[in-house]
Amino acid sequence: MPEQTSPPVPADPALADSAFLRAARGEEPSHTPVWFMRQAGRSLPEYRALREGVGMLESCMRPELVVEITLQPVRRYGVDAAIFFSDIVLPLKAVGVDLDIKPGIGPVVASPVRTMADVEAIPDLTPDHVDFVTESVRQLVAELGSTPLIGFAGAPFTVASYLVEGGPSKEHAKTKALMFGAPDVWDALMRKIAGIAAAYLEVQVAAGASAVQLFDSWAGALTPTDYEQFVMPHSARVLERAGALGVPRIHFGVGTGELLGRMAEAGADVVGIDWRVPLADGIARARGRAVQGNLDPTLVFAPTEVMLARAAEVLEAGRAAPGHVFNLGHGVIPSTDPDQLARLTDFVHEQSAR
Ligand code: 1CP
């Protein structure tokens, strides 16, 4: 396993000292930093207005839209980090895989990957494939000043699920059938995706992103031993290459309570905890790493005082971690009232000011 190294400090002192980067490095921040997975997107009326008539993937490839959409939640909420507006399947599209993101469905792949020849037909990613990403990140970093930009990639298992199933799946049955039934094809596919993910993260950090998150949203479908055998080495390779860039690495999955120790060991600086795991337990399983999470995303639909009381519990539990980044336990649900997220952000800031 890759050794844990301390990420270096960015050149801009205000950025380096930002609450988010301090917490991610396990240092004492001025307050507990907060951002929300999927903070950009359909919950915001200004996002829906901008996306009118523009396809999801097209919007990811137009720097002026990426910059504006990424900044929208930062302006509205004053969150402590921006997350780059893109999607986990964008790098596949960029290398030439025939796929689309269909409204109300998600990523759909025209010819699902099942054989060694299918895997070999997927090109590796070079920076030229994603020059619009470099451009978008550069512009964003200039606009964001001392607010950190988080770059991201989909982890090999989660991306493989879309490629093998051909679209969103609950059971991941075809994916696991390939994993169990054709280990050589599986290994080649995971290596291919890991290489693309690492190269994609390298592009984002080279252009100025100051942290990265690896989303293994569907890894919770695996048993710990299958995760360890079939998935963890590939995620570890991505995280090892990201570690060489010297920025904090967040490793997140959903339903991963039983996997958290291994996800930490795969090479995370910050372990993302979903809402099903009591944060205190997540902190213990993160084995000395900082943590991110983990308010139930449906609590925004509860009365404000109920939401804030639960947020206070998360903040309190987070004090036991070497570093705590407040977040929801998964992405913002599209029907979320943005005013609730504004109240939640203010509450986290006020409640945690040191
Ligand atoms: O038209 C639209 O608005 C489509 C909705 C949408 C959006 C806003 C999709 C389709 N992707 C995104 C952006 C996105 N995707 C972001 C940036 C926004 C932000 O965080 O502020 C990020 C980080 C992602 C990453 C992503 N895409 C993940 C990992 C995170 C997670 O939620 O677990 C996954 C699994 C995807 C696949 C995907 N893309 C879109 C949808 C609806 C889905 C999920 C489909 C499914 O259920 O399998």
Picking from 340, 332, 301, the residue whose alpha carbon sits closest to that of residue 38 is 332
What is the distance in A from the centroid of ligand 1 to the CA of 38?
Answer: 7
The whole-number pLDDT of residue 8 equals 53
Q: Which residues pair with 154 in a beta bridge?
A: 215
Choice among 22, 25, 47, 162 that is catalytic: 162
The C-alpha angle 71, 77, 78, rounded to 5 degrees, equals: 75
Ligand 1 pocket test target in 47, 76, 88 with most atoms within 8 Å of CB: 88
The whole-angstrom separation of Cα 259 and Cα 248 is 20
User: Residue 4: its pLDDT value, please?
Assistant: 47
Looking at residue 2, its pLDDT comes to 46
- Is the pTM above the cut of 0.85? yes
**Which string of b and e fits 206-222 if b means at least 16 CB within 10 Å?**
ebbbbbbbbbbbbbbbb
Supply angle C-alpha 314, 78, 12, rounded to 5: 105
Domains of the chain in start order, with CATH, are 13-250 (3.20.20.210)
Q: How far is the CA of 252 from the centre of ligand 1 (A)?
A: 14
> What pLDDT score was predicted for residue 220?
98
Q: What is the pLDDT along the chain (354 residues), one digit of tens a residue?
A: 444 445 455 678 999 999 999 999 999 999 999 999 999 999 999 999 999 999 999 999 999 999 999 999 999 999 999 999 999 999 999 999 999 999 999 999 999 999 999 999 999 999 999 999 999 999 999 999 999 999 999 999 999 999 999 999 999 999 999 999 999 999 999 999 999 999 999 999 999 999 999 999 999 999 999 999 999 999 999 999 999 999 999 999 999 999 999 999 999 999 999 999 999 999 999 999 999 999 999 999 999 999 999 999 999 999 999 999 999 999 999 999 999 999 999 999 999 998
